[in-house]
Structures are given as structure tokens and as C-alpha cells.
Amino acid sequence: MEDDLPPLVGEDGQELPPEPSASAEAAASAAPVEEVPEVQGEPSEDEDEYGLVVERLRRAAVQRAAVREPEVSASDALEAAMKEAAEIKAPYKEPNECTKRMVQALAKDDFEEPA
């Protein structure tokens, strides 16, 4: 599917490669996750902390990938927007006298701001 959009440009001004298509993303998500080889020896505190962070990020990514939300149809999105717009709002409140005078002065263009 071709579009008429200009090419993506990175922060350095160089043109970025096109984004992968949906079929390429589906194939990439279906690919098995590569296991990280075990490191022999006693890890240092930094390596141990780094390993924990990497493992947490990996688990979070797997959980997000497993919990894919279904796509929302256009009609469902429109229906939800209409319901949100129809929610009860604060009742109309008559503006006070000061506000009315200010609006009238602005409409006549004879309002002078205090110095």
C-alpha cells in the first residue's frame, strides 16, 4: 500500500528506512525468542543488577506481547466517543455582572486595560 507521505527523516537529517509491513511484524512476533547463553563465573554486582533489569524487561515484553488487545472497530470508537460527549455536564450558570460588562466592553472595543 503506497502512500503520499514524505519519507521519514531522523534527527541527523538522514532518510530512515521504511517501517516493516504488518506481515513482517507478524512473522517477527511468531519467531521464537533466542535464549541468552549462560555466563560462566561469579557475576559482579553491576552484572548481576544488569542481568536482573534485562530479565525484568524481557518478562514485561513477553507479557505485553501475550496480552494483545483486540483492535477497536471504527463504529465502536465512534459509539464510545458519542457516549462520552453525551455524559452529563455541569449545568449552565449565568455569568456574573462583571463578566457581562467585560464581554460587552470587549465587543464594543472600548476596553482599556489598567496600566
List all residues 6 or more positions away from 10 whose beta carbon is below 8 Å from its beta carbon: 16
The reply to whether 23 falls in a domain is no
What does the alpha-carbon distance between residue 108 and residue 72 come to, in Å, rounded to a whole number? Answer: 49
Higher pLDDT, residue 65 or 3:
65
pLDDT of residue 60: 86
Q: What angle do CA 77, 78, 82 make, to 5 degrees?
A: 120
Residue-wise pLDDT tens digits, 47-103: 678 888 888 888 888 887 777 777 788 898 899 888 888 777 778 899 999 999 888
The reply to whether 96 falls in a domain is no
pTM of the model: 0.23
Please give the residue range of the domain that contains residue 70: 45-83
Nearest to 66 by CA among 29, 35, 34, 36: 29
The reply to whether 63 falls in a domain is yes
What does the alpha-carbon distance between residue 63 and residue 56 come to, in Å, rounded to a whole number? Answer: 11
User: Considering its fold, how many domains does the chain have in total?
Assistant: 1
